[in-house]
Amino acid sequence: MAGRLATQADLDAAIEELVRMDPRLGAVRAATGVPLLRRHEPGFPGLARIVCGQQLSVASAAAIWARLVSEFGELDHHHFRDAESTRLGGLGLSAGKIRTLKGAAQAVVEGRLDLAALASAEVEDAHRILTALHGVGPWTADIYLLFCLGRGDAWPAGDLALQEAVRIGLGLPDRPGNKSMIEIAGIWRPLRGAAAHLWWAYYHVLKS
């Protein structure tokens, strides 16, 4: 259970264990119910979708992704490597994201990036390989590990929605930064990925 969040049942069991580990989360779960498992397709399409969503609202990211799918159909790394930057930009991608996606696509072509192999790699190794790519920081790497590979202890500490949800849910005076988020989440290891799902659900409740 701790290693993977592959099914909704995995997440349900992990949330139950989290509440036993940290009773403060009982009130959060009471407000949200058990959240739905969020998964993206692994491989380059999943990575591309996450890069598209960097620093954007869920709605804006979804709109850009829908335009890309409408334009190219079933996306793979060749589409991003071969497409003109102006064409990608016209679909809503920023210059920085175009550079990131083209660089990652070229790394796949050259064999420097094997996304299939990341599925069985140690979490730390997978994180290091991903963050070595231009434009892929810790948040992007952790989101890929969590949503695309189902790694149960991935914790995107820099996610602003998570930070705000934790601030409110734990009654903190200020929104915690990345370092504080890592420290706060120490008690939830090795189930921090399930905790992220729970806190995102709580953020949605707060905003709805």
At residue 2, does pLDDT exceed 80? no
pLDDT band at 1 (very low <50, low <70, confident <90, very high): very low
Which 8-state DSSP code applies to residue 151?
B
H or E element at residue 1: none
Q: Is position 3 within any domain?
A: no
Structure confidence at residue 140 (pLDDT): 97
Q: With respect to residue 178, please indicate whether it lies within any of the assigned structural domains.
A: yes
Do both 143 and 170 map to the same domain? no
> The pTM is what?
0.92
On whether both 142 and 109 belong to a single domain, the answer is yes
Q: Do 12 and 33 reside in the same domain of the chain?
A: yes
pLDDT per residue as tens digits for the range 53-112: 999 988 999 999 999 999 998 889 999 999 999 999 999 999 999 999 999 999 999 999
**Same domain, residue pair 91 and 60:** yes
What is residue 73's predicted lDDT score, i.e. its pLDDT? 87
Boundary (domain end) residue, out of 132, 148, 164: 148
Tens-place pLDDT, residues 128-149: 999 999 999 999 999 999 999 9
pLDDT digits (tens, 9 = 90+) for 9-56: 999 999 999 999 999 999 999 999 989 999 999 999 999 999 999 999
Model pLDDT for residues 154-170, shown as the tens digit of each residue: 999 999 999 999 999 99
Which of 148, 173, 195 marks a domain boundary?
A: 148
Model pLDDT, residue 3: 82
- Verify that 31 and 92 share a domain, yes or no: no
114 shares its domain with 159: no
- Do 167 and 201 reside in the same domain of the chain? yes
Counting DSSP H helices and E strands in the chain, the numbers are 13, 0
Same-domain pairing of 142 and 158: no
Assess whether 20 and 61 both reside in one domain: no
Is 2 among the domain residues? no
- Beta-ladder partners of 4: 151
Residues 120 and 195 in one domain: no
Contacts of 64 (CB under 8 A, 6+ apart): 52, 56, 91, 92, 93
Q: Is residue 1 part of a domain?
A: no
Enumerate residues 6+ apart whose C-beta is below 8 A from 112: none
Does residue 17 fall inside a structural domain?
yes
Domain containing residue 28: CATH number: 1.10.1670.40
- Give the mean model confidence (pLDDT) for residues 167-180: 97
> ω into residue 42 within 30 of 0, thus cis?
no
Domain with residue 51: its CATH number is 1.10.340.30
Residues 184 and 128 in one domain: no
Q: Which domain holds residue 83?
A: 44-148
DSSP codes, 16-46: HHHHHH-TTHHHHHHHH-SPPPP----SHHH
101-105, 123-127, 193-197: least confidently modelled range: 123-127
